[in-house]
Amino acid sequence: MKLIRSRLLLSAACLGALLLTTAPLRAVDDTMSAPTTQALKSTKLHFLKPGQPDAAALLAPPPLIDSVEQAAEMDEVRAVYHAASEVDKQAAYGEKKFSVFNFTVAVGPYFVATNLPKTTAFFEQVQLDAETVTDLGKDYFKRPRPFTTDPSLANGKLEKSFSYPSGHSTESMVLALVLADLIPDQGDAIIAHARTIGWHRVQIARHYPSDIFAGRTLARAITREFKQNDDFQKEFAEVKKEIETARSTAKN
């Protein structure tokens, strides 16, 4: 009986020691775990809720890499790339980084950052939200860019991110849709300029046409979500006043 009791006490002591040694390790592992891409990007959102909209749920998948549809799209990219003028290609390179003030050409010379501090800050947040949603979609679909599949299309400084949906198409159209609501009489010219920014990306073989079309669809969904946000609506009203004042001043 004493032998059994001694063995039970020894087992309990060993178990206790094991728990003491493993518990801290588990706590360290939990602390050191890298946050998910979703968690990291969600912290950057200003006017959107995490996952709203969800590009992975909203968009149909791009063509399969070995499909007839993919081959046809690749042929179209090659044709567009080789037909693009040097002027269009240089414009595309110049738009690698862009902002709402790329639309000054469609709005008017008064539409510059120095005249519009509230507008500048507002659209920076709008564009960052659009970028976050788009990047999550890219990371989900993982479509290689045209120049990755066909290295003969490589030109200029190449991106390392995925292709679908197009960030330029999504972000430029989000900017355009919001800006067109702010300046409706210039809406057609603003939207047309966003379409040009998106198509330039096909002209330098950074994207397939379906990447561009998907970006425009995603942009619509993003702007719908913006309009459900009270902070967005409040800042939108302030920006509208600022733009109207700058426009009025420019006319006088």
The amino acid that residue 124 corresponds to is E
Q: What are phi and psi of 109, to 5 degrees?
A: -65, -20
For 37-251, give the CATH class. Answer: mainly alpha
The helix (H) or strand (E) run that includes residue 190 is: helix 187-203
Query: What tens-digit pLDDT sequence spans the chain (252 residues)?
Result: 443 344 433 344 433 433 333 333 233 333 333 334 444 444 589 999 999 999 999 999 999 999 999 999 999 999 999 999 999 999 999 999 999 999 999 999 999 999 999 999 999 999 999 999 999 999 999 999 999 999 999 999 999 999 999 999 999 999 999 999 999 999 999 999 999 999 999 999 999 999 999 999 999 999 999 999 999 999 999 999 999 999 999 987
* Helix, strand, coil share (%) of the chain residues, nearest 5: 75, 0, 25
pLDDT of residue 10: 38
pLDDT of residue 44: 81
pLDDT of residue 227: 98
pLDDT of residue 110: 97
- In terms of residues, how long is the chain? 252
pTM summary value: 0.83
Residue 193 CA to residue 216 CA, distance in Å, equals 13
pLDDT of residue 127: 98
pLDDT of residue 39: 47
Residue 188 CA to residue 106 CA, distance in Å, equals 9
Q: Is the previous residue joined to 62 through a cis bond, with omega within 30 degrees of 0?
A: no
